Structure 1
Amino acid sequence: MKAWVSCTGAALLARDAADWAAQLSYAQAGQLSEVQRAQRESWRALIVTLQAALREAGGESWQVLLEVEMLRLERRIDAVLLTDRAVLVLEYKHGATGFAAPDLAQVEDYALDLFDFHAASRAHPVVPLLLASGAAAPVNQWPIFLPGVTTPVLRASPASLGALLRGIQAAIPAPAAPLDAAAWEAAPYRPVPTIIEAARRLFDRHGVEAIATARADARNLTRTTAAIRAAIGQARAEGARRVVFVTGIPGAGKTLCGLNLAFGPAAEGSTAFLTGNAPLVAVLRGALERDAREAQGRGARQPRREARAVLQNVHRFLEHHVRHPAEAPPEHVVVFDEAQRAWDAAQAGRDTQRRSSILTTSEPGHMLEIMARVPGWSVIVALIGNGQEINTGEAGLAEWGRVIGASWAKGGGGLWGAVAAPRALSAAEPAQRLAEGHPPWLTLEEDLDLTVPVRSIHHERSAQWVAAVLEERPEEAAAIAADRSTGGGLPFFLTRDLGALRAGLRARVRGLRRAGLVCSAKAKRLRAEGLGAQLHGADDEVVNWFLNRWPDVRGSDALEVCATEYACQGLELDVVGLAWGGDFIRGAQGWQARRFAGQDWQRVASPETRRYLRNTYRVLLTRARYETLIYVPRGDEADRTRPPAEFEAVANYLQRCGVGVF
């Protein structure tokens, strides 16, 4: 952990508070940040309070860290006190006369961040404390001090802080292995950013290498990024055209990898990030615009232009260049997010209510033709979410292979080639395979496959468990659920009660974490359960749902509107409440896909449509960073569209797969 000041309590007591404040001011100036007079006074007042409290608590041997940097949150903890038995996380509010809920949530979030991502903070109690300089001495509800983040947040005034620290130290038994302050500071801190946090950091040209993974032994995104850069370098040197396929399980960091390539500190010149995922574009643009307005004090227009230049809708990109056949894109490299969802020829050429299509072939076909206009060389980095095609007309990996193969043959073996991991050839379903066999235009590279999830914080086999559940392997799913060797317990829980679902979600969103409800867009009869409002992906609505916080009722935290797969694919929440619909139930032969027409359910006969619906639940089950609470309704005997036996079968199967009931 990096702190601007690290010293023993005795050393803190040995110097005047004004000297320490000057040292902190010097550290801030070193980051090219202006030091305000109010900030210097706040530091001086905090150190005066800490000095008095340490004397009273006998904390001369403790380690004191001031302004501890938190990479993921782009903030700093005011103070961390390391005793021999606890990590005390202190947030100081200069001039505050009370303990506001946002301030309590802020310091609790700091403590949670340390526990989740700092290896040396997991064996001891992590105690969040809020210190308000102008408050009267509060009465605290005393927590149970066990390893983990204690709750509730403890509150203190300057007059009561010393007694509180002394009481905490007395309440925690001396551990068999005392906390080693030097080892704590040296221990790795590897936070996993949300995709929104990563985009904000990258937009400011900061790297994400240090926040790529929470596990020291996990394959780092650096290897995949290096493999992509090597392929780009080879194409540039040879004057060639390549499609680089990056495959991976849900939540493995494909989008993060693409964002880093497009506009990280070592971006490949002018690189565009293209995606057909309109909600993802809207939310990331919205986050960048808000960040520029609020943090940088800029107007809305310039941040909006900058965000739109970086994040582009792939459908509009293709239409523009089809309309202007003599125009070459300015970028030699484009990143195509969720490239498996690119439209086939039929969908690409279909008119909609809002616009007439001008595309004449599949989107992969148009993409190759457009990028072939770029002088000299060009590379398409195609990010592939395995098993995440969710809509009619999504071509899958096979269409990319078809158009590359046709281009190779037409160009005499010299127009377009591809680089991909072996996974691209081995999928069970033909639509997800790049080619049959090993075609001459394909070079294999193992490091282009991301196999370790970075979204699921505490259980790295969550995506494997979801695959086993959806692919009729309950024994394998149960074995994964029982395996504690690769993380905590299975982060999936079952309830049959909607009130319990909402209560469970609210209980789990400590600090600044956020929760939300999700469901399938085809789960039409959830309306009878009181879940009729669905978020499908309209720009303003989806931006507000993902970015606004309670008590704003438009935000996900209100737990009123369910985001469908179309609104949440590619995005994430800390805790998810999944409402299971009657569109995907258990039948005699396993999972049965249905659609609601008129006043009855109808079985889906098309294998392709059944696959889309299974993938819908794959997307919904992999949106959470921490836990997914699954609500399976009880149904109603009086309603033929909601027979209890159907839902009972789903609940029983999930329990057979290892899901616990809460």
Structure 2
Amino acid sequence: MNRSWYNASFDLFQQTSDEQIIGELALNSTFADLPTQKIAWLKEISILRKALQGHDGCLHLEFNIPRMGRRIDAVLLIKGIVIAIEFKIDASQYLMADIDQSYDYALDLKYFHEASHKATVIPVLVVTKARSASTTLFRHPRIHGLYEPVSTNEDGFASTLEKILHQFPEIPFDPQVWSDAAYRPTQTIIEAARALYAGHGVVEISRNDAGAINLSQTSDQLFRIIDRARDQKEKAICFVTGVPGAGKTLVGLNIATRYSDEESELYSVFLSGNKPLVDILREALARDTILREKMSHGKKLKKSEAQARVKAFIQNVHHFRDDCQKNNGQEPVEHVALFDEAQRAWDKAQTSLFMKQIKGVPDFDISEPEYLISCMDKRNDWAVIVCLVGGGQEINTGESGISSWIEALQEQYPDWHLYISPALTDSEYGTGNILSSIRTRKNVHFEHDLHLATSMRSFRAETVSKFVKTVLDCEVDEARTLYQQLIERYPIVLTRNLESAKQWLKTQASGSERYGMVVSSQAERLKPYAIDVRSPMNPIKWFLDSKDDIRSSYYLEDVATEFRIQGLELDWVCVSWDGDFRYGNQGWEHYSFRGNKWQNIKSESRKTYQKNAYRVLLTRARQGMVIFVPEGTPNDPTRIPRFYDNTYKYLKSLGVQEIG
């Protein structure tokens, strides 16, 4: 597959007419044939013709970046160097957003394009009408062979290229091998949703290495189950498990996008009780829809229309529940319902309380899982429910875990087929003895492909979730071993200075890599550090907006709690640790702040929620994290040093590196 819309040797490029090159670009373009784009291409071609005279190499125009759903204007393969060029035609300023964009392209090549892993990669920003800029190469301190962006203008581009080439010896390089090399991206859930909604499949946008191949295997298994249910006129429920960041949500979105046509008998809906996730994905898809509409058809789509398009694709599970209640007795339009974070569905007590107090339904006496199954059971022909299940992810009062789903099936729906991941028996999924009671049921199937064992969130180190589990379970020796295995590729550091933590994030992040602070919702005594968990942040602004918006995560002013960050991720994270979850002589101790003092948590379920909250916080980073544990002060009885010292010492004893 050609990743670029046009590619040729420098010699062939120089011999080919502008019209022929433009024609090939237009022929391969997936967007509207706009005059403004042709003018930009002509100017880029002219600039490149002048600069490449006398050089040997290969040129790619409009090189596709699968993970980002965008294209690099030009890539030069010359003397063994990969030069990624971003043109800003007729612009006159070197904007930070443009510099970050050029850097993002280079980072993406370095991280995910196999032939670029060991190559020298240099991003170049050409702002045609800007002032001249000095050409100085600075290598990325953390990533071997990657250089920071070089900015230049139209007149200075040729000399800038000469200066770059002068600094490196020529290395044997096969342009065809580079062009054919595999591209193995690892996306954030927001990037993945954008790509899937734009029509790409899960195989296209995920890595294909042995450790992560089960993403496509799990999707294929679910497609087979759906096809069987349709063909046999059966009703089935599937339980898909996975470690944090393994891609459970990605699998669900993949099915929902495949079957998004309301007229199709396979019409599916993706449901989540995670409101921040739903809001963020809807906003991201709406923004992307507007951009793609403009590029594809040259017209501006109204925000309200874009939002309406994506609203049916991703729905809040509680709204789905309410619609079922309003349409009591009517079968839903969907044949397939995908429930993200199904373990967080409410138990009977929480559901009944909500329906009585908020909805005015006094006699509602079943759990949310049982009611959701009953909604899909109304289909007279066939139906499939896919439950995407995270282990140790219950973080709020009334979340029933997965056992409520199985209890409902066992007691009320004996004819439903069950397809279960074998990992559901693990202790972290909290199924207890309930699975034992259904093993003799004739329509139970254990499917290995329904478990995602490898974290996709951290493309640098897949052992992060396992390391976090050992830290929380106080398995000291294994935690030390795992830390040493991951530290070179996935830095985890420790500090007692918040400003040092913030500076570390800024230093580590490159281009538009997103960073931010996360904190437990019970961390009430971090206020002296301007960390206020009671001051709500805007999740859409925090996750989607740029560095110049004070509400974005980049500003490090607003923080995200486990309720806002669950199911999402950042590249770099600062975990701020308060005295609510502290290490003691017998392991972890649990506290909540009430009035003016910390109080012991005695409820076992609340202890579990709190432990899981820190599990969520410690598994949000894709590339690395810094853990900030305050020193406390003897002058404040709510922040005395012993509330924090043992936690810091414990983390340090695991070998976690300290910074100032």
Report if TM-score (shorter chain) is over 0.5: yes
Hey, what's the Cα distance between the residues in 1 that align with 2:455 and 2:160? Answer: 40
Hey, what's the Cα distance between the residues in 2 that align with 1:216 and 1:169? Answer: 37
Q: Which residue of 2 aligns with 1:189?
A: 183
1:145/1:200 CA distance change after superposition, 3 Å: closer
Q: Which residue of 1 aligns with 2:165?
A: 169
**1:195-217 deviation digits (Å, cap 9, x = unpaired):** 12222222233323211227465
SS in 2 for 1:494: strand
Q: Which residue of 2 aligns with 1:79?
A: 74
Amino acid at match of 1:505: L
Hey, what's the Cα distance between the residues in 1 that align with 2:592 and 2:140? Answer: 51
SS in 2 for 1:552: coil
1:206/1:430 CA distance change after superposition, 3 Å: closer
**1:167-225 deviation digits (Å, cap 9, x = unpaired):** 222222455xx333222111111212221222222223332321122746532311001
Hey, what's the Cα distance between the residues in 2 that align with 1:19 and 1:232? Answer: 47
Hey, what's the Cα distance between the residues in 1 that align with 2:501 and 2:286? Answer: 33
Return 5+ residue gaps in structure 1 as ranges.
none
Is residue 347–residue 393 contact of structure 1 (8 Å, CA) maintained in 2? yes
Matches within 5 A, 1:248-397: 248-264=242-258, 269-296=266-293, 297-351=300-354, 354-356=358-360, 359-397=364-402
Q: CA deviation at 1:516?
A: 1.5
Amino acid at match of 1:402: E
Is residue 260–residue 269 contact of structure 2 (8 Å, CA) maintained in 1? no
Hey, what's the Cα distance between the residues in 2 that align with 1:252 and 1:658? Answer: 26
Range that drifts further, 110-119 or 201-210: 201-210
Hey, what's the Cα distance between the residues in 1 that align with 2:42 and 2:482? Answer: 52
**1:285-305 deviation digits (Å, cap 9, x = unpaired):** 122223334543212332222
Instruction: Name which of 452, 460, 480 aligns with 2:462.
Output: 460
Matches within 5 A, 1:513-524: 513-524=513-524
Q: CA deviation at 1:536?
A: 5.1
Amino acid at match of 2:129: G
What is the TM-score with the length of structure 1 in the denominator? 0.92
1:418/1:506 CA distance change after superposition, 3 Å: same
Q: Which residue of 2 aligns with 1:219?
A: 213
Q: CA deviation at 1:495?
A: 1.9
Q: Which residue of 2 aligns with 1:97?
A: 92
Matches within 5 A, 1:582-621: 582-621=579-618
Q: CA deviation at 1:324?
A: 3.4
Amino acid at match of 1:476: E
Q: Which residue of 2 aligns with 1:403?
A: 408
Amino acid at match of 2:167: A
Give RMSD over aligned pairs: 2.3
Q: CA deviation at 1:236?
A: 2.1
Instruction: Name which of 637, 650, 654 aligns with 2:647.
Output: 650
Hey, what's the Cα distance between the residues in 2 that align with 1:432 and 1:53? Answer: 68
Instruction: Name which of 55, 60, 65 aligns with 1:59.
Output: 55
Q: Which residue of 2 aligns with 1:445?
A: 447
Is residue 531–residue 560 contact of structure 1 (8 Å, CA) maintained in 2? yes
Q: CA deviation at 1:331?
A: 1.0
Q: CA deviation at 1:489?
A: 2.6
SS in 1 for 2:312: helix
Q: CA deviation at 1:474?
A: 2.0
Amino acid at match of 1:450: L
**1:552-589 deviation digits (Å, cap 9, x = unpaired):** 11211111111111111111122211111111110111
Hey, what's the Cα distance between the residues in 2 that align with 1:136 and 1:14? Answer: 31
SS in 2 for 1:626: strand
Hey, what's the Cα distance between the residues in 2 that align with 1:626 and 1:439? Answer: 44
**1:15-52 deviation digits (Å, cap 9, x = unpaired):** 34444233323332xx3x33223322222222222222
Q: Which residue of 1 aligns with 2:419?
A: 419
How many residues align? The count is 644
Amino acid at match of 2:541: N
What is the TM-score with the length of structure 2 in the denominator? 0.93
Range that drifts further, 450-459 or 81-90: 81-90
1:144/1:321 CA distance change after superposition, 3 Å: closer
Q: CA deviation at 1:426?
A: 2.9
SS in 1 for 2:125: strand
Q: CA deviation at 1:461?
A: 1.0
Amino acid at match of 2:315: Q
Range that drifts further, 496-505 or 8-17: 8-17
Q: CA deviation at 1:535?
A: 6.0
Range that drifts further, 283-292 or 611-620: 283-292
Amino acid at match of 1:615: N
**1:242-265 deviation digits (Å, cap 9, x = unpaired):** 110000000000001001111236
Is residue 496–residue 628 contact of structure 2 (8 Å, CA) maintained in 1? yes
1:535/1:620 CA distance change after superposition, 3 Å: farther
Q: Which residue of 1 aligns with 2:491?
A: 491
Hey, what's the Cα distance between the residues in 2 that align with 1:433 and 1:631? Answer: 39
SS in 2 for 1:653: helix
Q: Which residue of 2 aligns with 1:568?
A: 565
SS in 2 for 1:635: coil
Q: Which residue of 1 aligns with 2:156?
A: 160
Q: Which residue of 1 aligns with 2:24?
A: 23
Amino acid at match of 2:15: A
Hey, what's the Cα distance between the residues in 1 that align with 2:433 and 2:14? Answer: 66
Q: CA deviation at 1:546?
A: 1.5
Range that drifts further, 326-335 or 216-225: 216-225
Is residue 251–residue 454 contact of structure 1 (8 Å, CA) maintained in 2? yes
Hey, what's the Cα distance between the residues in 1 that align with 2:463 and 2:119? Answer: 26
Hey, what's the Cα distance between the residues in 2 that align with 1:212 and 1:505? Answer: 26
Q: CA deviation at 1:235?
A: 2.0
Is residue 110–residue 146 contact of structure 2 (8 Å, CA) maintained in 1? no
Range that drifts further, 586-595 or 644-653: 644-653
Is residue 207–residue 265 contact of structure 1 (8 Å, CA) maintained in 2? no
SS in 1 for 2:38: helix
Hey, what's the Cα distance between the residues in 2 that align with 1:97 and 1:636? Answer: 52
Is residue 192–residue 214 contact of structure 1 (8 Å, CA) maintained in 2? no
Hey, what's the Cα distance between the residues in 2 that align with 1:46 and 1:216? Answer: 40
1:536/1:254 CA distance change after superposition, 3 Å: farther
Range that drifts further, 432-441 or 450-459: 432-441
Instruction: Name which of 450, 470, 473 aligns with 1:471.
Output: 473
Matches within 5 A, 1:553-564: 553-564=550-561
Q: Which residue of 2 aligns with 1:639?
A: 636
Range that drifts further, 528-537 or 516-525: 528-537
SS in 2 for 1:291: helix
Hey, what's the Cα distance between the residues in 1 that align with 2:391 and 2:440? Answer: 21
Hey, what's the Cα distance between the residues in 2 that align with 1:325 and 1:157? Answer: 65
Is residue 259–residue 268 contact of structure 2 (8 Å, CA) maintained in 1? no
**1:80-129 deviation digits (Å, cap 9, x = unpaired):** 11123321111111112232211111100000111111111111221110
Q: CA deviation at 1:383?
A: 0.4
Range that drifts further, 105-114 or 471-480: 471-480
Q: CA deviation at 1:149?
A: 5.8
Amino acid at match of 1:101: M
Q: Which residue of 1 aligns with 2:15?
A: 14
Return 5+ residue gaps in structure 2 as ranges.
294-299
Q: Which residue of 1 aligns with 2:192?
A: 198
Q: Which residue of 1 aligns with 2:296?
A: none
Hey, what's the Cα distance between the residues in 2 that align with 1:15 and 1:234? Answer: 54
Identity of counterpart residues, as a percentage? Answer: 35
Hey, what's the Cα distance between the residues in 2 that align with 1:616 and 1:81? Answer: 47
